[in-house]
Amino acid sequence: MIGRLNHVAIAVPDLNSAMAMYRETLGADVAEPFDQPEHGVTVVFITLPNTKIELIHPLGDDSPINNFLAKNPDGGIHHMCYEVGDIIAARDQLIANGARVLGNGEPKIGAHGKPVLFLHPKDFNGTLIELEQV
């Protein structure tokens, strides 16, 4: 069901210093930040030859990453995003197998303009999984 690794997301307490570290220290191709109010985060994409890194920072008081950053004040790996061909078929198969889909179960449009869903980290060895339909 899952295909390519679309991105690895890292929650960061300071977007500007994280961008500078990837751009200057690690020499990566770092894009400009953009707000995703539907998701409660500000996002910066970093393009690597084989995948992307997504720096995420809370946007608004009820950001879904607030608790994570409170527990991990230096930041940390927040989720992995895997590509799927049909997100509704993937969702229904996951639910049938007992996995918990977060939110109301309906895909939202993600940072690439494509439908995304999240799966509960407690069902996947402590890893929050994002699915993106490509």
Terminal C-alpha separation, the chain? 12
Binding marks (x or -) toward ligand MC0, 9..48, rule CB under 6 A?
x--------------------------x--x-x-x-----
Q: Which of 68, 84, 90, 129 binds ligand MC0 (CB under 6 A)?
A: 68
Cα–chain center distance at 26: 21
Q: Pick between residue 94 and residue 116 the one whose CB is nearest to Co ion.
A: 116
Q: Is residue 43 involved in binding Co ion (CB under 5 A)?
A: no
Instruction: Give backbone dihedrals phi and psi of 41, rounded to 5 degrees, phi first.
Output: -145, 155
Q: Is residue 9 involved in binding Co ion (CB under 5 A)?
A: yes
Whether the CB-CB separation of 3 and 78 falls below 8 Å is answered with no
Q: Judging by beta carbons within 10 Å of its beta carbon (0-12, 13-18, 19+), is residue 16 exposed, middle or buried?
A: exposed
Minimum gap (Å) between residue 130 Cβ and Co ion: 5
Active site residues: 130
